[in-house]
Structure 1
């Protein structure tokens, strides 16, 4: 009977997890595929253009994306725990506060786009790639502000498990994006400028459709319109936003640092193209893991907010087990198809050969990246962002990158050595997070969530009396 009830309980939790993870995965895959499609079209313009767009996407946009996604992720802790505690009236205010913070952050980040070319030259990237990347970065500035609006909206919907509409919007926009790229980049031959403008249109279409959904009356309790309260009590909100941003950025910038190191190798065009193809595949599967990050974050924050520590712990176990199983499948596919997948992106024999060599490391990376983001989701749901930020610094920057630099440059293993170092840091970080997660006292976390809700909810905006 005990075993049967355990299976029943596991099946019930799995359904709750997939109810959030399924559409979150599809939304992530669709939205990530916007850049995937752009790279696929640009790759057929030329080697320098492909390398330039890859560097902008992974270094400049990756940097901005990480900061803004991290800033928006504070909402996952606050909104998720508020939903668990039944304080829906605070969600709209939280989202607007987040918009204020992400909007100002986007303004601060704009100079990175404006000065992309000199920044890349400073990072010792080649002249051709730096100049081409600088032009492209200027053209995609509107996407920076689209991210600033998009992430808080997404977290608002996810906390309430309202995710299917976001998925449908992202799917429709992806189809439009592919069509527009075919028209402007392939048929009309507008080159990089055409690709950038199409990307801008697509991201703003997503925001427009999500705002229409928000204002269509589907959220009577959590959205009561724009409020001046969005500009109050920002200091504490900024603290949690910064902790979330630092935690996430340290993870995303890890890949940025790898791209920069590879750009310093001899013959960087081939190495960069090979790494960027692998990163595109790896990030595509990472989107699936990030769906579980969202699901476990929502489940943990909801259950802690509702004062159910055992349910929170069980949600973690189910999510980690499911994502690990999926990671094994991804690894097997990467190993089997390692000689075929580079051909989708490039016709250059050198690039195809170099990418195939990285296939073994790509497989192991996919397995690790199926487990690690779920553990980060637990951290966000429970509000441990600051702790994870310190772990990331140690594993990634004090171990992974130095090991990669030694293997890549000193031992002449080139791109493979740099990736191997990155993998060492990721494996250590995953082991540490697993130990922390399974030694956590969930009862204590539930009490902290209750305290957080009192501070953020009751003290900031009391419920309106009937």
Structure 2
């Protein structure tokens, strides 16, 4: 059976038209950039808007919670930045394995495999989400052990329970995004996210201000905002929106799970090590003098940074899809050209935002708080925020290249070295021993991120992309199921 699968896969790959790299080289540079930019924005545009909307749900919730009280704001910021970022990193990282598999399979024209990969990812991520439930149940004692103030830790325990259904929504949200954007059909997610964001603003205003439900009202509205788009995505996929890639539920999703688990674990490690880096920054801040103001100021800066990061994450998605598609199709030179176009576009936007945020400084803080003390602290951190934004315009895009190429394991080791052996130790020395407080910790974080960015630039520059094409096609062959076999035992939806 394995020999039969392999020969079928090889025949399928041989039957594809030859790579178009030579034809592309005959075109003018301007035309190539224009055509590649068009392909990039088909993925990046909807991805950016969707991530803005999704991230906006959490920021709007934080804004409404901030008007309830400073302790509630600090508790929400701590839970979201520490626990939710932890869980989000695990699920997003593990789901990025789906981005690699779907992107390369779609490029290799094995469209029927995308639905199988999607279902396999659901199984793996559902188990993972279930295992993380105790973290949310025991939030208060966990934060006490980490040295957080009693009032904040107690309120955080209440807030964390509301995040359990939100955490389960991420497993579907992330996988649907990666499944749909790999085939450039993620516009539907944009519409659903915009609808959800608008409803969330209304329901948050209604429950917090009109019905005086406080934190409870804000969290109920957030749960609805996270699940409404998922129901719409299920309807789109199951009701014929992806006829080539969704053939119905199949028992074949339970086969080859170990291979998916291994790639998911390396993907999860890559993303988690990056997201937890910021989490450690917040935890270290929580042990400083005047912790409530410092945490509030830092969480506001990280939220502003997060808004900008949504642009870069959109380009991350575009880089991952374009590189995976081209590698799966056997186009090494096209993959390299895609990387140059995506990085240059994202960096240009980052430079503009760098200048803008240097000019606005602390004035943006009043969108999140009424405290002048917190706003002054934000203004003091603004130069560091601007430099972080500049780095974020390049670093996530290179991570997207790694996802599209299947390098997650390599980047995980890079993250350990740059973040945990360079960034955090420097931050502790600057923050605690030299006395720069939160600014010192953040400077250490920036230096770690800059080191990681330089390493990723070097790895990308030195990569043999012809070899990456061979590796991508070997991966496609390894998990290939003939269309007839993948349909066997399937239940239509």
User: Structure 2 length as normaliser, TM-score?
Assistant: 0.92
Q: 1:316 aligns with which of 339, 344, 349?
A: 339
CA contact (8 A) 1:140 1:197 kept: no
CA shift at 1:429, angstroms? 0.3
1:287-436 equivalence runs, <5 A: 287-436=310-459
**Partner deviation per Cα, 1:376-411 (whole Å, 9 max, x = no partner):** 000000000000000000000111011111111111
Paired residues, number = 464
**Which structure 1 segments of 5+ residues have no match?**
none
Aligned partners of 1:250 and 1:372: how far apart in 2? 14
CA shift at 1:103, angstroms? 0.4
Does residue 90 (structure 1) correspond to residue 113 (structure 2)? The answer is yes
| Match of residue 220 from structure 1 | 243
Give the secondary structure class of the aligned counterpart of 1:215: helix
| Match of residue 109 from structure 1 | 132
| Match of residue 157 from structure 1 | 180
Does residue 144 (structure 1) correspond to residue 167 (structure 2)? The answer is yes
CA contact (8 A) 2:250 2:487 kept: no
CA contact (8 A) 2:77 2:299 kept: yes
| Match of residue 34 from structure 1 | 57
Aligned partners of 1:60 and 1:186: how far apart in 2? 27
Q: Structure 1 stretch 360-369 or stretch 209-218: which is displaced more?
A: 209-218
Does residue 201 (structure 1) correspond to residue 232 (structure 2)? The answer is no
Q: 1:443 aligns with which of 458, 463, 466?
A: 466
**Which structure 2 segments of 5+ residues have no match?**
1-24, 489-493
Aligned partners of 2:40 and 2:356: how far apart in 1? 24
| Match of residue 257 from structure 1 | 280
Could you list the structure 1 runs, at least 4 aligned residues long, displaced by more than 6 angstroms after superposition.
Answer: none
1:172-211 equivalence runs, <5 A: 172-211=195-234
| Match of residue 18 from structure 1 | 41
**Partner deviation per Cα, 1:247-282 (whole Å, 9 max, x = no partner):** 000111111111101101111000000000000000
Aligned partners of 1:313 and 1:272: how far apart in 2? 41
Aligned partners of 2:72 and 2:81: how far apart in 1? 14
User: Structure 1 length as normaliser, TM-score?
Assistant: 0.98
Does residue 66 (structure 1) correspond to residue 92 (structure 2)? The answer is no
Give the secondary structure class of the aligned counterpart of 1:412: coil
| Match of residue 5 from structure 1 | 28
Give the secondary structure class of the aligned counterpart of 1:222: coil
Q: 2:303 aligns with which of 280, 296, 314?
A: 280
Aligned partners of 1:79 and 1:401: how far apart in 2? 35
| Match of residue 229 from structure 1 | 252
Aligned CA-pair RMSD: 1.4
Give the secondary structure class of the aligned counterpart of 1:162: coil
